[in-house]
A = this chain, B = another copy of it.
Amino acid sequence: MKKISESYSFGGKQYIYSHKSLVNNCEMTFSVFMPPNYKNAPVLWYLSGLTCSHLNVLEKGEYRRKAAELGIVIICPDTSPRGEDVPDEKDNWQFGSGAGFYLDATEIPYSKNYNMYSYVTIELPKLIEANFDFDMSRQSIFGHSMGGHGALIMALRNPKKYKSCSAFAPIVEPSSAGWSSEAFKKYIGLNKENWSMYDSVALVKNGHTFPEILIDQGEADSFLDEGLRPWLLTEACKNTSINLELRMQPNYDHSYFFISTFMNDHLMWHNDRI
């Protein structure tokens, strides 16, 4: 693990590290915010959206003041493998670099590197546990857009691993959304049965469960009707034990202006459950 940078902020420390990922077969970068009292602090994972890296939320997410106050560690992984040896489609923002979709690819040539599901749920937590004194028995997860999708599928598939799950404007049914279904074909093939493990609506329909989910969604989000459609998850959760709260926020768009506005709400919500 290599320290890239370290800055004091809100009485805590904002770090950026990189390391050699075995599951992604490349150098991966991530950020860690440590609150002033970080020893045995719980860990909240934030997963970013399409085109982002670990840096966007670090710069624009406005999470440090409240995380420092609450004593929560915030870890933000990158959104995909990267590097000269990693296959990519440079002009396609919906596939490859910045668009790992938090799945484990099965198709050649992507399966060698695009294994973000195992990276975020297994490899990176192990690295964190080995290198920091956080309380890894208390982990929660949230994210934005493609990262909201990631948070939802990881929580639904690992309900004992994560204490709580929330999302900003998540892609709830990537199997049927234009910006993800093309990527799914390339990453995991044409057999749609294999897609259901990476689709939160399908996971819920197939009986996966999680106690509570909080979703904030801007009503002025230009991706709402075609790419996001959170009501599909509301519908799927009906008559299940999942307590889903979907809050439609008038006037807000898909940007970090929206995310930062509701960041404190999500941090406090996780803090009550983590």
Report chain B residues within 8 Å CB of A11: 261
| B8:A220 contact, CB within 8 angstroms | yes
Contact pick for A10, options B7, B8, B255, B261, CB 8 Å? B261
Give 1 or 0 for each of A245-259: 1 = CB within 8 Å of chain B CB: 000000111011110
Interface size on A, residues (CB 8 A): 23
| A7:B257 contact, CB within 8 angstroms | yes
Minimum CB distance partner of A252 in chain B: B8
* Residues 48-65 of A contacting B (Cβ, < 8 Å): 59-60, 62, 64-65
| A59:B59 contact, CB within 8 angstroms | yes
| B253:A8 contact, CB within 8 angstroms | yes
17 cross-chain CB contacts under 8 A? A7-B253, A8-B218, A8-B220, A8-B251, A8-B252, A8-B257, A8-B261, A9-B258, A9-B260, A10-B261, A11-B261, A14-B257, A59-B60, A59-B256, A64-B261, A65-B260, A65-B264
Residues of A within 8 A of B (CB): 7-11, 14, 59-60, 62, 64-65, 218, 220, 251-253, 255-258, 260-261, 264
Which 9 A/B pairs are nearest by Cβ-Cβ distance? A9-B257, A7-B257, A8-B251, A8-B252, A10-B261, A62-B62, A59-B60, A9-B261, A59-B59
